[in-house]
């Protein structure tokens, strides 16, 4: 079966510090991978998605970036965090199937920028 | 730009009551998903509906996809405190993109 991992689970960082969040998927090959941010009690905002190694599409211009160095690894980074970067970051994967393109989510990372 | 609207935004009911939440769009989707998310956790998939008019049941939860594949509903029978959470619908635009609604926050009081 497929599983998706995210770490760290929680993170508190000062403004201006760098960021690296990691997401890995097990049990599937060549998944589509996604990074979302969720403000408190709100819906999901798509940040980046990737259909393959080294292929990144950005949905929202910001000081964040994403990379996919391996097939099942997706990294979200920033060189200098802003207060507005605080939120709940979710990684998801999907694979096209007869039942549609369903996304499966990781447990999330709670980021607080002080 | 495709948008998904969800209503109501908030819902607070007593244990044992029935409820329906809605997910609406002016766009057609190839499939639609419902998720439930608890605080501090990632959304968990409840169901995927693909065919217009399709009805799926998951214990006390009944999901319906509109005939035109633009809307969906989630009906919960005899709600329990464990049903509390944020219910998100998401539409798949034929593999081109994936759109999430803002969610319905449900609170079931014992």
Residue A97 has pLDDT above 80, yes or no: no
Percent pLDDT > 70 in chain B is 96
Least reliable range by pLDDT among A36-40, A48-52, A106-110 = A36-40
Residue A99 has pLDDT above 60, yes or no: no
| Cα A73-A77-A82 angle, rounded to 5 deg | 150
Least reliable range by pLDDT among A6-10, A96-100, B37-41, B83-87 = A96-100
Average pLDDT score over residue span B76-96? 91
Residues in chain A: 114
- pLDDT score, position B2: 65
Residue A61 has pLDDT above 80, yes or no: no
Q: Across the interface, do B102 and A43 touch by the CB < 8 Å criterion?
A: yes
The dihedral of CA B59, B61, B64, B65: what is its sign? negative
Cα of B81 to nearest chain A Cα, Å: 18
What's the CA gap between A112 and A13, in Å, rounded? 6
Task: Give every CB contact of residue B59 below 8 A, 6+ residues apart in sequence.
Answer: none
Confidence tier at B6 by pLDDT (50, 70, 90) = very high
Average pLDDT score over residue span A16-30? 95
Percent pLDDT > 90 in chain A is 70
Instruction: Name the residue facing A101 among B40, B44, B98 (closest C-beta).
Output: B98
Which residues of A fall below an 8 Å CB-CB distance to B? 6, 34, 41-44, 46, 88, 90, 92, 94, 96, 99-108, 110
Residues in chain B: 110
- The chain-wide mean pLDDT, for chain B, equals 93
- pLDDT score, position A1: 84
Q: Across the interface, do A101 and B31 touch by the CB < 8 Å criterion?
A: yes
Residue B35 has pLDDT above 70, yes or no: yes
Residue B110 has pLDDT above 80, yes or no: yes
Cα of A63 to nearest chain B Cα, Å: 23
Average pLDDT score over residue span A54-67? 88
Q: Which regions of A16-108 does DSSP assign to beta strands (E)? A: 19-26, 32-38, 44-52, 55-58, 64-70, 73-78, 87-94, 103-105
A21-42: b (≥16 Cβ within 10 Å) or e: bebbbeebeebbbbbbbbeeee
Residue A93 Cα distances to A2, A6, A28, A72, angstroms: 10, 12, 10, 9
Are A111 and A58 spatial neighbours (Cβ–Cβ below 8 Å)? Answer: no
Average pLDDT score over residue span A36-42? 82
Element (H, E) at B57: strand B55-58
Which two structure tokens, joined as six digits, stand for B74?
């989630």
Of chain A, the end-to-end C-alpha distance in Å amounts to 38
Q: Across the interface, do B92 and A101 touch by the CB < 8 Å criterion?
A: yes
Q: Across the interface, do B101 and A43 touch by the CB < 8 Å criterion?
A: yes
Which phi and psi angles does B33 have, rounded to 5°?
Answer: -120, 150
């Amino acid at each position: 079966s497929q599983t998706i991992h995210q770490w760290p689970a929680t993170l508190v960082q000062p403004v201006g510090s760098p960021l690296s969040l990691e997401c890995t998927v097990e049990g599937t090959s060549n998944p589509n991978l996604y990074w979302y941010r969720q403000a408190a009690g709100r819906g999901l905002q798509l940040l980046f998605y990737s259909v393959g190694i080294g292929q990144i599409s950005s949905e929202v211009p910001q000081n964040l970036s994403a990379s996919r160095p391996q097939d099942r690894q997706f990294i979200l980074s920033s060189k200098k965090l802003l207060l507005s970067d605080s939120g709940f970051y979710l990684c998801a994967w999907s694979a096209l199937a007869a039942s549609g393109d369903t996304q499966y989510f990781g447990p999330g990372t709670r980021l607080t920028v002080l | 730009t495709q948008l998904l609207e969800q209503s109501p935004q908030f819902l607070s009911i007593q244990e044992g009551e029935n409820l329906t939440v809605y997910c609406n769009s002016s766009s057609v989707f190839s499939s639609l998903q419902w998720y439930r998310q608890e605080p501090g956790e990632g959304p968990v998939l409840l169901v995927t509906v693909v065919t217009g008019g399709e009805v799926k049941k998951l214990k006390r939860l009944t999901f319906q996809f509109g005939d035109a594949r633009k809307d969906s509903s989630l009906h919960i029978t005899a709600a329990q405190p464990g049903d509390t959470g944020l219910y998100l619908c998401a539409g798949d635009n034929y593999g081109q993109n994936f759109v999430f609604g803002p969610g319905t926050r449900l609170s079931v009081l014992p």
